[in-house]
Chains A and B, each alone.
Chain A
Amino acid sequence: MNIKDIFENLDYGKAPEDAKFAYEWIKENGNFGHFIDGQFTKAKNTYASINPATGDELAKISDGTKADVDSAVKAARKAFSGWSKLSGFGRAKYLYAIARLLQKNARLFAVLESLDNGKPIRESRDADIPLAIRHFYHHAGWAQHLEAELPNHTPYGVCGQIIPWNFPLLMLSWKIAPALAAGNCVVLKPAEATSLSALLFAQICQKAGLPKGVVNIVTGHGATGAAIVEHDDVDKIAFTGSTNVGKIIRETTAGTGKGLSLELGGKSPYIVFEDADIDSAVEGLVDAIWFNQGEVCCAGSRLLVQEGIEQRFIEKLKARMGKLVVGDPLDKSIDIGAMIDQTEVARVNEIISEGEKSGAELYQPKGNLPNQGCFIKPTLFTNVSPANSLVQNEIFGPVLVAMSFRNPDEAVALANNSSFGLAASVWSENLNLALDIVPRLKAGVVWVNCATQFDASVGFGGYKESGFGREGGKEGMKAYLKRNWEKRLKPVLAAKEQPKLTKTHEISSIDHSAKNYIGGKQVRGDSGYSYPVLNANGAEIGQASDGNRKDIRNAVEAASKALGWADKTAHLRAQILYYLGENLDYRKQEFAERIRQTTGASAIKASKEVDKSIERLFAFAGMADKYDGAVHNPPMRAIAMAMVEPLGVIGISAPDDNVLLAPITMMAVAISMGNVAVLIASNNHPFSMSDFYQIIETSDVPAGVINIISGNNLTLSKILAEHDRVDGLWFAGSKDESAIIEAASIGNLKQTWTTRGLAYDWSNNEQMGGNYLLERATQIKNIWIPYGV
């Protein structure tokens, strides 16, 4: 094309980024081994890493074996004591050095990332790499301030980290920076398709003089990842990837006591109200769904637009789509690069053609795709409903589905109509409206009048099946730390043999039969069966309802109807908890006597347990309006709020010791934060809690907020664990039982806390009287609100 022609048509032409230095680096290093104990191993069992834009082989990568993983874990273990004992400032200096070195090699990383992943150079240069650098700078600060900011915490030890291919270096940074800041050592597996930037990062670690073994990188496929997850000497697993693999990891690690954080899939709503700046909302969608080819877990892939502006909005959106350029990732003038590989292209195209067959209306802009390579046009589906699989399933490609809503309530209902809960965008110029919607969205990140914003200082992570744990900010640091006391917990001494029924029921008073407590009423169990409750001497002192599946179902039903409890003011929740404490105090002798009767505890011990239970009710009443969030400091003109929200419905299974204190503590924590509880009373000693029904009934607790069932704890807990409407589950029991419960939780990936046969001290306030359980009763929603007129 000559200048005259261009003068007329004003084409952009090509603006390719020079990839020379990246190719030179690959050529020098081309045949990659793993990075273990500060050294690169010799390459073996290699496979090709492919440039998805061209199909060319870039480099040979080693497929890690169990033995490779084992030597990496050993190296990490060996390095741990030195690294974790280093002063905070000592670790900060290394993290700072890594940040500086990343910065000095920023363009090499960016080009390498685009070559390996197919993402536009503009994005790797302006988003991935700068965000990764910022993550190390930010966490250098955390390393230094850890002791003051999170006292009495200690690192897990060896962290196994498995990351996806969509943001290779950025996800590596999200994993490694906080882990190292906290004093952990890591074994990280990059995705098989995109290992190059992790291997370059390994060289950066060498240049930074990082002690050997602190960072180990083992490349390979799923089996390599599985070897990390299954390794006995790994203390924590952090995974970012698909929900399916996340569930497998949850199942594999069940009962092992390994820490776990999961960043999984999403189908995030993008809500546009009629009073929004419509053109800006259209442009925001470009960031939301056409960033990184739509291969983004938090992509705003479900457009919900208010009916009055729907037609106009969709027309504008189509016009905008027509301007998006799909092409060579190294061309600086393109918007959408290559998908990761041909398998993904085929999978997404299959979804698109199935979508068309389902009656959804397809729109793709005119124009051609490059002749070769893994490219897909930006795609919009209209005429879809929530029943369409296009709307339900994560597509992980440049495919947007659009629906309309009539009013704010319907917008919220549609937004939450998903098994995922990663992110959401809300567009409105009305602050009252936006802030009414934000807390009602079940999502870990909410962007007001923007999309796809990230920063190291702001936590990121999901609700529901989008996973748990946060990355970034103080909440992200907590994911790599344990309480000091937690690490010292010893196994429970062998449980006291349960007395056998020795005497038949002596009628000493009026017959005592405990029912269940569901929806604010004492109700008979569904089964019609009861079981004998014995005293310490083995004499039957009454019967308790033998709860079954349907009792659990009814209790969860009642609890979920009471979720409005979270909308009550914290002050009101506190008042009710105080009232429970006050009313228990009136009858403390009776409750102490019951503990004595059923467990055989001494009078002093029994009365201490009741006193402690009252103290706990007061403690969490007092915390209801104090355990709150934060305002973060991302580098932009915005308010970023970390808001503490309840999980929702929490299932609680009480142990056979501390028959009053343990369930009261857990229940108080849960409801203080706005959760509703389904509590299974102590298997052998249910009467302390059934006696408590009357306390609940006289303390203004709204119906359904607390529900109590008696019966076999393990059986009933497993039903709760499998219940998809239950959001969290706390289980006190043995290691094996805990494993069963955790494995059973994968249906909706509810958050679990199990005691795994460890001797938690229920009367110890540091352990059970404060933030430790509060953290488990809550999740953090980060809300980004950019502002300016």
Chain B
Amino acid sequence: MSLKVVGENSSQENHKRNPGFALDMDWLDNVVMNRSALERRAGSIGARRTVKKQHQAAWLLKAITLIDLTTLNSDDTDGRVRRLCAKAKNPVRAEILTELGAQDLDIKPGAVCVYHHFVSTAVEALEGSNIPVAAVSTGFPHGLSPLETRLLEIEASVKAGAKEIDIVIERGQVLSGDWQGLYEQMKAFRAACGAAHMKTILGTGELATQTNVAKASLVCMLAGADFIKTSTGKEKVNANLQTSLSMLRMIRWFYEETGIEIGYKPAGGISTAKDALTYMALVKEEMGANWLTAHLFRFGASSLLTDIERQLEHQVTGRYAADYRQPLV
């Protein structure tokens, strides 16, 4: 391949969906990530950029709109999912929004994310809210069930009303360098998704190297992923800033080469408002503020929302807030 020179980083008003591209092994060969340099950049971002007072409040409201409010536990029930959806419809207490002058901003999370089993429950609970339902799929979290059943799982979730499918990759394909296999599988998953957006979970904590993370990111994007996502939340190491940097830089490179904007979703372990702000600063610095919209960036989180609410309440009252005063997620 011949590498393109970086163009103007302009926000595309009409987001164009990733049509998918041929697997470009030359491009893949050019991908390297230097871990220690990524760590230094990641480590300094929180010190280089900070938001205070009303800026912080505005950023935190934005953060809420970027959350995939998630419940992915083996003891989930319909009741639990309904409660989550109710929270999604009213993520912040009305009086706080009013005090902040944000009552017209239509603050609601990017999606509600559940197992296939609860898709229909969530769809029903969210009816009329315009909040999409995302389903984790393809043998989540390990991705090792038979390929046919993984494809059927996607189709079933789409049929049940999921607008977004969070699929998992087979980590072994990355570790063994089977890029062709990974590419084919992603293409098949994407076809099964149809109109639903495909979010590709890489399981970055199990990919061993930052270069593997970057290469896997590229292969998934070439195969047609709409989002690339760090983790299932079930690995030992979930989202972190240096891995985010690897993935964001691959998204940027992909955009430079193809003009297609791919979304990014860090998931697992992001539980404080401060964490969220640091991630947002990283995205703004590396990608531009235009990437901080729900169709290009999501947090996979649940308890994050409560911490954000507490900070917003503090902003309004000047008193530190208690978690039990925020409606349970």
Q: Is the CB of B32 within 8 A of A13?
A: no
B97 to chain A: closest residue by CB: A3
Expressed in whole angstroms, the minimum distance between the Cβ of A281 and any Cβ of chain B is: 8
| Size range of the chain A interface in the assembly | 35 or more
Any chain B CB within 8 A of the CB of A7?
Answer: yes
Q: Is the CB of A4 within 8 A of B40?
A: no
Expressed in whole angstroms, the minimum distance between the Cβ of A637 and any Cβ of chain B is: 6
Of B52, B211, B285, the most chain A CB neighbours within 10 A belong to B52
Expressed in whole angstroms, the minimum distance between the Cβ of A122 and any Cβ of chain B is: 5
Q: Is the CB of B102 within 8 A of A279?
A: no
Q: Is the CB of A315 within 8 A of B5?
A: yes
Q: Is the CB of A789 within 8 A of B208?
A: yes
Set of chain A residues within 8 Å of B50, measured between Cβ atoms: 12, 15, 332-333
Any chain B CB within 8 A of the CB of A472?
Answer: no
Q: A2-B54, A788-B39 are in contact. Are A315 and B6 (CB under 8 A)?
A: yes
Q: Is the CB of A429 within 8 A of B34?
A: yes
Any chain B CB within 8 A of the CB of A343?
Answer: no
Q: Is the CB of B292 within 8 A of A10?
A: yes
Set of chain A residues within 8 Å of B54, measured between Cβ atoms: 1-3, 6, 13
- Enumerate A1-35 residues with CB–CB distance to B below 8 Å: 1-7, 9-15
B265-284 CB contact bits vs A (8 Å, 1 = yes)?
A: 00000000000000011001
Q: Is the CB of B5 within 8 A of A312?
A: yes
Of B6, B35, B44, B58, the most chain A CB neighbours within 10 A belong to B58
Task: Give the CA-CA distance A568 to B284 in the complex, in Å.
Answer: 52
Task: Give the CA-CA distance A737 to B44 in the complex, in Å.
Answer: 54
Task: Give the CA-CA distance A4 to B55 in the complex, in Å.
Answer: 10
Any chain A CB within 8 A of the CB of B38?
Answer: yes
Q: Is the CB of B57 within 8 A of A3?
A: yes
B53-73 CB contact bits vs A (8 Å, 1 = yes)?
A: 111011101100000000000
Q: A275-B32, A312-B5, A316-B6 are in contact. Are A280 and B37 (CB under 8 A)?
A: yes
Q: Is the CB of B37 within 8 A of A333?
A: no
Expressed in whole angstroms, the minimum distance between the Cβ of B283 and any Cβ of chain A is: 10
Task: Give the CA-CA distance A9 to B289 in the complex, in Å.
Answer: 7
Q: A4-B101, A122-B48, A323-B285 are in contact. Are A311 and B210 (CB under 8 A)?
A: no
Expressed in whole angstroms, the minimum distance between the Cβ of A329 and any Cβ of chain B is: 14
Q: Is the CB of B101 within 8 A of A789?
A: no
Q: Is the CB of B32 within 8 A of A283?
A: no
Q: Is the CB of A10 within 8 A of B5?
A: no
Of A7, A309, A332, A787, the most chain B CB neighbours within 10 A belong to A7
Task: Give the CA-CA distance A81 to B40 in the complex, in Å.
Answer: 45
Set of chain B residues within 8 Å of A280, measured between Cβ atoms: 33-34, 37-38, 41
Task: Give the CA-CA distance A12 to B249 in the complex, in Å.
Answer: 22
State which of B5, B40, B101, B284 has its C-beta within 8 Å of the C-beta of A450: B40
Q: Is the CB of A7 within 8 A of B35?
A: no
Q: A10-B289, A126-B47, A319-B9 are in contact. Are A789 and B52 (CB under 8 A)?
A: no
Q: Is the CB of B101 within 8 A of A12?
A: no
Set of chain B residues within 8 Å of A224, measured between Cβ atoms: none
Any chain B CB within 8 A of the CB of A644?
Answer: no
Set of chain A residues within 8 Å of B57, measured between Cβ atoms: 3
Q: Is the CB of B58 within 8 A of A319?
A: no
- Enumerate B19-56 residues with CB–CB distance to A below 8 Å: 32-41, 44, 47-55
Of A3, A15, A787, the most chain B CB neighbours within 10 A belong to A3
Q: Is the CB of B36 within 8 A of A788?
A: yes
Task: Give the CA-CA distance A122 to B46 in the complex, in Å.
Answer: 10
Of A2, A275, A281, the most chain B CB neighbours within 10 A belong to A2
Q: A2-B101, A323-B285, A789-B209 are in contact. Are A7 and B61 (CB under 8 A)?
A: yes
Any chain B CB within 8 A of the CB of A284?
Answer: yes
Q: Is the CB of A3 within 8 A of B61?
A: yes
- Enumerate A190-233 residues with CB–CB distance to B below 8 Å: none
Set of chain B residues within 8 Å of A316, measured between Cβ atoms: 6
Set of chain B residues within 8 Å of A277, measured between Cβ atoms: 32-34, 37-38
Expressed in whole angstroms, the minimum distance between the Cβ of B138 and any Cβ of chain A is: 27
A295-328 CB contact bits vs B (8 Å, 1 = yes)?
A: 0000000000000010110011001000100000
Any chain B CB within 8 A of the CB of A629?
Answer: no
State which of A3, A429, A449 has its C-beta within 8 Å of the C-beta of B58: A3
Q: A3-B61, A3-B102, A429-B34 are in contact. Are A13 and B40 (CB under 8 A)?
A: no
Q: A3-B57, A7-B58 are in contact. Are A312 and B289 (CB under 8 A)?
A: no
Set of chain B residues within 8 Å of A449, measured between Cβ atoms: 34, 36-37
Any chain A CB within 8 A of the CB of B86?
Answer: no
- Enumerate A175-189 residues with CB–CB distance to B below 8 Å: none
Tell me if B's interface is mostly helix, strand, loop or mixed: helix
Q: Is the CB of B59 within 8 A of A789?
A: no
B250 to chain A: closest residue by CB: A279
Task: Give the CA-CA distance A10 to B58 in the complex, in Å.
Answer: 8
Q: Is the CB of A788 within 8 A of B55?
A: no
Any chain A CB within 8 A of the CB of B105?
Answer: yes
Set of chain A residues within 8 Å of B209, measured between Cβ atoms: 789
Any chain B CB within 8 A of the CB of A564?
Answer: no
Of A281, A316, A638, the most chain B CB neighbours within 10 A belong to A316
State which of B33, B39, B48, B280 has its C-beta within 8 Å of the C-beta of A333: B48
Task: Give the CA-CA distance A787 to B308 in the complex, in Å.
Answer: 36
A331 to chain B: closest residue by CB: B50
Any chain A CB within 8 A of the CB of B1?
Answer: no
Any chain B CB within 8 A of the CB of A747?
Answer: no
Q: Is the CB of B58 within 8 A of A788?
A: no
Task: Give the CA-CA distance A1 to B52 in the complex, in Å.
Answer: 13
Set of chain A residues within 8 Å of B33, measured between Cβ atoms: 277, 280
Q: Is the CB of A12 within 8 A of B55?
A: yes
Expressed in whole angstroms, the minimum distance between the Cβ of B63 and any Cβ of chain A is: 11
Of A1, A283, A316, the most chain B CB neighbours within 10 A belong to A283
Q: Is the CB of A10 within 8 A of B284?
A: yes
Task: Give the CA-CA distance A638 to B5 in the complex, in Å.
Answer: 33
Q: Is the CB of B51 within 8 A of A13?
A: yes
Task: Give the CA-CA distance A316 to B209 in the complex, in Å.
Answer: 24
Any chain A CB within 8 A of the CB of B100?
Answer: yes
Expressed in whole angstroms, the minimum distance between the Cβ of B259 and any Cβ of chain A is: 16
Q: Is the CB of A283 within 8 A of B41?
A: yes
Set of chain A residues within 8 Å of B32, measured between Cβ atoms: 275-277, 429
Any chain B CB within 8 A of the CB of A786?
Answer: yes
Q: A12-B55, A312-B6 are in contact. Are A786 and B284 (CB under 8 A)?
A: no
B4 to chain A: closest residue by CB: A312
- Enumerate A615-638 residues with CB–CB distance to B below 8 Å: 637-638
Set of chain A residues within 8 Å of B52, measured between Cβ atoms: 13-15
Set of chain A residues within 8 Å of B280, measured between Cβ atoms: 10
Task: Give the CA-CA distance A7 to B40 in the complex, in Å.
Answer: 29
State which of A6, A279, A287 has its C-beta within 8 Å of the C-beta of B55: A6
Q: Is the CB of A13 within 8 A of B34?
A: no
Set of chain A residues within 8 Å of B249, measured between Cβ atoms: 279
Any chain B CB within 8 A of the CB of A335?
Answer: yes
Task: Give the CA-CA distance A102 to B61 in the complex, in Å.
Answer: 40
Set of chain A residues within 8 Å of B59, measured between Cβ atoms: 6, 10
A125 to chain B: closest residue by CB: B47
Q: Is the CB of A7 within 8 A of B102?
A: yes
Q: Is the CB of B36 within 8 A of A787?
A: yes
Expressed in whole angstroms, the minimum distance between the Cβ of A402 and any Cβ of chain B is: 15
Any chain A CB within 8 A of the CB of B3?
Answer: yes
Q: A6-B55, A15-B50, A284-B37 are in contact. Are A789 and B211 (CB under 8 A)?
A: yes
Task: Give the CA-CA distance A716 to B275 in the complex, in Å.
Answer: 68
Set of chain B residues within 8 Å of A429, measured between Cβ atoms: 32, 34
A636 to chain B: closest residue by CB: B36
The 6 A-B pairs at the shortest CB distance, nearest first, are namely: A6-B58, A280-B37, A13-B55, A786-B36, A277-B34, A788-B35
Known: A7-B105, A277-B38; 9 extra A-B contacts, CB below 8 A, are A4-B104, A6-B58, A6-B59, A7-B58, A279-B249, A287-B40, A319-B6, A333-B50, A638-B36
Which A residues form the contact surface with B (CB < 8 A)?
1-7, 9-15, 122, 125-126, 275-277, 279-281, 283-284, 287, 309, 311-312, 315-316, 319, 323, 332-333, 335, 429, 449-450, 637-638, 786-789
5 CB contacts below 8 A, A to B, read: A3-B57, A3-B102, A312-B3, A319-B6, A786-B36
